Amino acid sequence: MTSPARWGRAARLAAAAVVFPLACVARGEPEAGSSDPAPSAIVPDASSAGADAAAVPDAAAGRCSASRLCVEEVPIDEFVHLTSVWGSGATDVWAVGAHGTILHYDGVAWRKAEVVAPDGGLLYTLRSVWLERPDDVWIVDGTTQVGGGGLLRHGVGWKGPSATTWTFFTPSDPSGFEPLIVRGKSDTVWIAHAGHRLLEAFDGWSGGAPGPSRTLAPARMSAVTALAVSRADEVWAAGSCFDEAFVSRFGCVFRGSLSTAGPVPEPPAWRFEEHDSRTNKALRGAWGDESGAWLVGDAGTLRRMTRSAVPGKKLEIVKSPVVADLRGVFGFGPDDVWAVGEASTVLHWDGAVWTKLATPFDDASDRPMLHAVWGSSPSDVWIVGDGTVLHFDEVNGR
């Protein structure tokens, strides 16, 4: 049940949303011919024209929207695409992106790390960052390099732009080692690959290298486009898979669960089962916790799996207020989830409805793509995209 505090916060977010044509909602209906039950409701965007301007920080400068999403000062230019954001807390937030860009926020300001390639060569796009502790930072570079494969970077914490150091890892057999996404829980870190390894689970990092790994490729899966570790014994992977004619199609979702039956196996036995996403759209973002999982994707696709519905293996269709491609999703529970995507789209779920939020880019002719979202708490949310960082700070008004 949604708490009164969260309902109040949801109401403030909804009141600050921008107008969105109802015609677009109609275009967000499930695929023709679907016999699925009626999806969850949505609320069309409310107008922000009557919002109290005094309640919006820096409104005159145009740096914040009525929904309290503010453009942050970051030491990059508009041509640097930030691909991922994650942190261990409000004063330890990391973002990565093009040209080997690594940024860190210490609670006061964003600073850029001085990064060099491990072999003295070119710097590539860093695809994903993940951490639970300040001294255990994982970054993946999925760009195929000379000799094949990609890189894992591991850091033991922010020490400043020039003093922060990294340990690099490339396996002795780089075939299929093309990491794109990193996620984890406790001492198990998952990597989603562009190569044939697809999913790989590492036993943490120690002694200058990741621990032993296990390659886990669900049957029929041909590519991974989204990954979420909801619990230590559960992982969700979305992407493409082969049909009976060996043709690859999008919209495939697999749930991996750690076997607990009988004696504890060594190594742990993971079992993957396919779940019906009820879409053939590409799913590009995933997030999950004890309450279940969310997946987002092209054309505003939103899919939910509640914990009680897991045995049925069928995701719930949730109508979207947009038709924009969605790239990232992150939440704090069943009644507080964020999703972001193209044309500076930002959505919020309050447990009952999705609302499109106003952003500082709504009046721009060229609105940047937003790739990822993460937060340390419901009142502290970070969003990164093409040349920009947005911050929702409900406590401090920025």
223 — phi, psi (to 5°)? -160, 150
Closest CA to 357 of 10, 16, 8: 16
Q: How many CA atoms lie within 13 A of 84 on its CB side?
A: 28
The ranges assigned to domains in the chain are: 80-214+372-398, 218-357
* Cis ω before 30 (30° cut-off from 0): no
Average pLDDT over all residues of the chain: 84
CA geometry: angle 151, 156, 162, nearest 5 deg: 85
Residue with tokens 């909804």: 14
| pLDDT for position 177 | 87
| pLDDT for position 40 | 44
pLDDT tens, 340-373?
A: 999 999 999 999 999 999 999 999 999 999 999 9
Closest CA to 179 of 133, 113, 126: 126
DSSP string covering 295-321, please? EEEGGG-EEEEEGGGGGGTBPEEB--S
Residue with tokens 């590009």: 284
By mean pLDDT, which of 19-23, 73-77, 393-397 is the weakest? 19-23
Spatial separation of the C-alpha atoms in residues 28 and 43, rounded to whole Å: 13
- What percent of the chain has pLDDT above 70? 80
Q: In this structure, which amino acid lies at residue 196?
A: H
Strands of the sheet with 336-341, listed across from one edge: 326-333, 336-341, 345-349, 354-356
pLDDT tens, 274-284?
A: 999 999 999 99
Spatial separation of the C-alpha atoms in residues 134 and 155, rounded to whole Å: 9
Residue 17 is given by DSSP the state B
Residue with tokens 């807390």: 89
Please, what sign has the CA dihedral across residues 210, 212, 218, 220? positive
| pLDDT for position 61 | 35
> CA 102 from chain center: how many Å?
17
Spatial separation of the C-alpha atoms in residues 384 and 371, rounded to whole Å: 6
- What percent of the chain has pLDDT above 90? 66
| pLDDT for position 27 | 34
80-214+372-398 folds as Hemopexin (2.110.10)
> CA 234 from chain center: how many Å?
17
Name the CATH superfamily, with its identifier, for domain 218-357: YVTN repeat-like/Quinoprotein amine dehydrogenase (2.130.10.10)
**Residues 110, 74 contacting (CB under 8 angstroms):** yes
pLDDT tens, 187-223?
A: 899 999 988 889 999 999 988 899 999 888 888 999 9
Neighbouring-strand partners of residue 69: 392
Quickly state the pLDDT bin for 260 (edges 50, 70, 90): low
Spatial separation of the C-alpha atoms in residues 87 and 106, rounded to whole Å: 10
pLDDT tens, 132-181?
A: 999 999 999 876 555 556 889 999 999 999 999 999 998 888 888 889 99
In the numeric block, which tokens belong to residue 54? 């005094």
Pairing of strands 82-89, 69-71: unpaired
| pLDDT for position 41 | 44
Please, what sign has the CA dihedral across residues 158, 159, 162, 164? negative
| pLDDT for position 12 | 53
Spatial separation of the C-alpha atoms in residues 48 and 326, rounded to whole Å: 23
Report in angstroms the alpha-carbon separations of 372 from 91, 328, 342. 18, 5, 11
| pLDDT for position 199 | 95
Neighbouring-strand partners of residue 328: 340
Q: Which residue has the higher pLDDT, 293 or 60?
A: 293
Kindly report the number of other CB atoms within 10 A of residue 222's CB atom: 18
pTM, entire model: 0.85
